[in-house]
Amino acid sequence: MSDQNLQLRIQSADQLLFEGKAKSVSTYNAKGLFDVLPYHENFISLIENKVSFVDLNNQKKEFPIELGAIRVEENKVEVLLGIGK
C-alpha cells in the first residue's frame, strides 16, 4: 500500500479523456452521489449526471455525462462514458 492515489482512466467510445493518477473520484449512480478513494472496495456500477476527480495538484476536473459505467479494481478506476447511445 505504498501509493496513496488512484490510477484513473476516463474514456468514451472514441476518445481517451484522461489517464493518470487522482486523489479521488466522485460520480452518481441510482442511489446518489458517491466517492471512490484509494483502496476502495472493488465494484462495478452504472453512473449518470457527471464524473469528477481531484488530480495530484488538488485541481477538480469534471465531465458531464448522460450514462456511463465505472469499474473499481485494485486501486484502478476505469470510467466508460456514452453507454447506450
Domain assignment of residue 45, yes or no:
yes
Domain assignment of residue 85, yes or no:
no
CA 46, 68, 19, 53: dihedral to nearest 10 degrees? Answer: -70
Non-local (6+) Cβ contacts of 38 within 8 A are 3, 4, 5, 6, 23, 75
Which range of residues forms the domain containing residue 64?
6-79
CATH number of the domain where residue 37 is located: 2.60.15.10
Domain assignment of residue 84, yes or no:
no
- Give per-residue pLDDT as tens, 40-65: 999 999 999 999 999 999 999 999 99
pLDDT band at 84 (very low <50, low <70, confident <90, very high): low
Number of domains in the chain: 1
**pTM, two decimal places:** 0.90
